[in-house]
Amino acid sequence: MSADASSYEPDPAAVFAAATSLWRACHQREADDSTMNLGAAYRGMDQCMREVMRIAGDFETWACQHVVFAMFDDVWPYFLADRFGDACLKIIPPDALARFTSNDCLRVAFPLRLPLRADGSLRLPVDVRATHPSPNPGFSEFRIQTVRDELASDQVIPFTEYDDPFDPTLGPPYFSLYGLDDDGLCEHIADCNTYAEARCLAQKLAPSLNLPVNPICFTPPPP
């Protein structure tokens, strides 16, 4: 297979593993919470099963479109069996699975640290740096970082891997270009709507600057 995530087809074993993981996580949460009744929440456990299967299938389809499996060394179904359920329940309670949408696939991918390509199709927290190739430059290093505006205050804050990509209190991500001197002091140069624009500007300032065309966000998760 090529490194292009879109070349992958959904794997029934991965769907089964994800569904099993989520099913077990839901039942464990119910066992730990005396106020929760999954059967009542879904008017029957068969409907809960349907929601679990839907989520597992939707996530596997989404992953095949976006995950860079060439950078993923674990066995995908085993990985999902171990971690998928807990990751889902970090963003949605087990008695509200019907609310799970395609946006939640990205939310789940964050704590799983799945390798995703920042090609503009997803809201991803980019933070890349490149050393200036010339001797004695004005800036020794350039940095491109995703940021967002707080809607209540207009304060600019970094968008990181620990944040909700769809936080309603924040505006959409955009890309800030910074120059760093030898002491690590950072100077804001410009804001751009896309990573490609920020990269192009940085390379106009330093033509030999080695910045990735589409950076990969998140390192593979630890074993």
pLDDT of residue 132: 85
Mean pLDDT across the chain, nearest whole number?
Answer: 91
For 1-27, what is the mean pLDDT? 83
Nearest to 167 by CA among 191, 145, 149: 149
pLDDT band at 3 (very low <50, low <70, confident <90, very high): very low
pLDDT in tens, 21-71: 999 999 999 999 999 999 999 999 999 999 999 999 999 999 999 999 999
Nearest to 17 by CA among 55, 47, 48: 55
What is the token pair recorded at 10?
């959904």
d(CA 33, CA 163) in angstroms, rounded, equals 27
